[in-house]
Each structure stands twice: as structure tokens, then as C-alpha cells.
Amino acid sequence: MSCCIQNHPLTPVQSCGADPLEAEETLEALGQLAAAAQVLEAAGRLPKWKKKCMDNYNKCINDGWAGTWNCVDCFRFCEGQQGKWPEGRCFPATN
């Protein structure tokens, strides 16, 4: 199943018959967070707290946030805390 999901990251439910949560876990393990989010969002199963974590992660990466942790560490913390971003560890850089 994981090979099929890897080959069809944006349509694993339709192309592989995968459960959306299984597809999300496989894609996250492969580091394809955006694809994992699209799968769950398409299935109507993306929790709001997860979207908040992903939005902050994207801002962290795209805007070059600063802090004592990297963006991935902050994202993982946010996931574990179900939506609580570690603001003291990852934050917008001041110029």
C-alpha cells in the first residue's frame, strides 16, 4: 500500500483504495506534509488544530522564522499539543 501511496500522493484514496488516515501517516513518514494535508482535507477529515499547525509551519519555512528550534521540530510539537504552536521556539524573525 505504501508504494502505491508514494506513487500517487495526491490521490491515494482514489488510486490505491487507502484509508485517508493511513495515507496521511504514510505521506507524513515520507516527509510529504502538504500532500498528507490535501488527502485529509479532500476527505473532509483535517482537524482545525492540524491546519493551524500546518499554516504556522508554512509561514515558518516560507518567511524564514527564527528561534531555538527548526520549523519541523515546532510543527511536530504543535501536532503533539494539537494546535499549540511553540511561540517561544519558532517565531517571525525581526530585521
pTM here is: 0.57
- Please determine, for residue 86, whether its predicted confidence score (pLDDT) is greater than 90: yes
Question: Which residues make Cβ contacts (< 8 Å) with residue 48, sequence separation at least 6?
Answer: 83
More confident residue, 14 or 44: 14
Angle 58-59-61 from CA coordinates, rounded to 5°: 65
